A = this chain, B = another copy of it.
Amino acid sequence: MPDPEEFVVTPYEIKGKIDYGRLIEQFGTQELTPELLAKLHHLAGGELPPVLTRGIYYSHRDLGPLLDGYANGRPFFLYSGRGPSGPLHISHLLHFDLCLWFQKRLGVPMYIQITDDEKFWSRPTLSREETVHWGLENLVDLLALGFDPKRTHVFFDSKSIAAMYPLAVRVARKIPYSSVKAVFGLQPSANIGWVFFTALQTVPAFWPSWAEGRSVPCLIPCGVDQDPHFRLTRDIAEGLGYPKPALLHSKMVPGLLGEGVMSTTANRADDALFLNDPPREVERKLRNAFTGGRATVEEQRRLGAVPEICSIWALWRTRFAPSDREFEEITRTCRSGELLCGDCKAKLIERVHTFYDEHAAAREKAKSWAESAIVTAPPKAL
């Protein structure tokens, strides 16, 4: 019988109930300490985003030296990405929301990678037309969050390959097949594109150093499941003369149906709130979402609800209650039984509708500059 404590976290599989403390030990990462957060708080002029104060990001690699460097006048850049297999859902915004905060508070350049090639290689049912289509749609959604056109650069793999390839060629020589096999658990039947891909995922982390001919540190906020990908990147960085990217790890965001990770695969479309869901669909999904409420109103008034297992509370926590006062009030009244699930959901539905409306308008603006943000030429011939 499998150990009930057993869990698996790799870039391509998440199984079981994750023990995040044990994962820090297993992966050998560092805890995101109050001291480190205080340092960032200071650098950002006395502010931290909710995802950092509410324990959603909880682990890191080398964030300290990166912030110390910044404090001493050494700028860094942000890198995050998206594998375009379909429409974005709300959880996909987590790292980009954080990146946006960094860009707004610290003026940091942002590099976004859209891996239309990787999704085609790793998902046999997707066509190239689909991965390219979703790549552009997803990109516009991300830029529409409010990124600064002057400080935001995009690697759209199949469109940026001329720019990325010279560096990818150097990176690929440093990575033996055996490492990729070990890190991703790829089978011998995995296609050679998928095997090669990690070289391309590494390129943006080194790009500014390569392009500018000097050492520019990189910060990658990512789900802790992506740590192995970038551990590979970190392993080869110094051999190529580039700084190891710093990482900031988030926990997995639960889906609307409760437990696990918000996911769009299998028959779990109702588990995720897609950015292209029409308002009625948003309402239906949120109305059906799993909560920490009790069986009856009477019971809930008496015992209170359990926010920690509630998918609605997770949405307030990660994105829809930017004000700490409001978030604390929701949490307190939920726990005390004052706030009933129906009312809480109605309030969230309204908040989500407002975001979708604003986002639709922002998308139109982002469309006008999305193509021009895509990097297409290498900085030099080699």
Where the two chains meet, the residues of A that have a C-beta atom closer than 8 Å to any C-beta of B are 117, 120-121, 124, 128-129, 132, 158, 161-162, 165-166, 169-170, 172-178, 180-181, 186, 188-193, 195-196, 198-199, 376, 381-382
Contact = CB atoms under 8 A, between A and B. Distances in A.
Contacts of A165: 117, 158, 161, 165
A178 B189 contact: yes
Given A121-B172, A128-B170, A161 B162 contact: yes
Contacts of A124: 173
A374 to B, nearest CB: 12
Nearest to A123: B173
A195 to B, nearest CB: 5
Nearest to A116: B169
A178 B188 CA distance: 5
A378 B3 CA distance: 53
B382 A169 contact: no
B193 A177 contact: no
B158 A177 contact: no
Contacts of A162: 161-162, 376
A176 B158 contact: no
B189 A382 contact: no
A202 to B, nearest CB: 11
A173 B121 contact: yes
Nearest to A180: B192
The 9 lowest CB-CB distance pairs between A and B, nearest first, are A172-B193, A196-B196, A162-B162, A178-B188, A161-B165, A176-B189, A117-B169, A173-B191, A175-B192
Contacts of A173: 120-121, 124, 191, 193
A325 to B, nearest CB: 49
B169 A192 contact: no
A124 to B, nearest CB: 8
A191 B172 CA distance: 6
Nearest to A181: B188
A83 B110 CA distance: 37
A192 B188 contact: no
A262 B158 CA distance: 39
B199 A193 contact: yes
Identify the interface centre among A181, A188, A381: most chain B CB within 10 Å of its CB.
A188
9 contacts: A128-B170, A129-B382, A158-B165, A162-B162, A162-B376, A172-B193, A177-B189, A192-B199, A195-B196
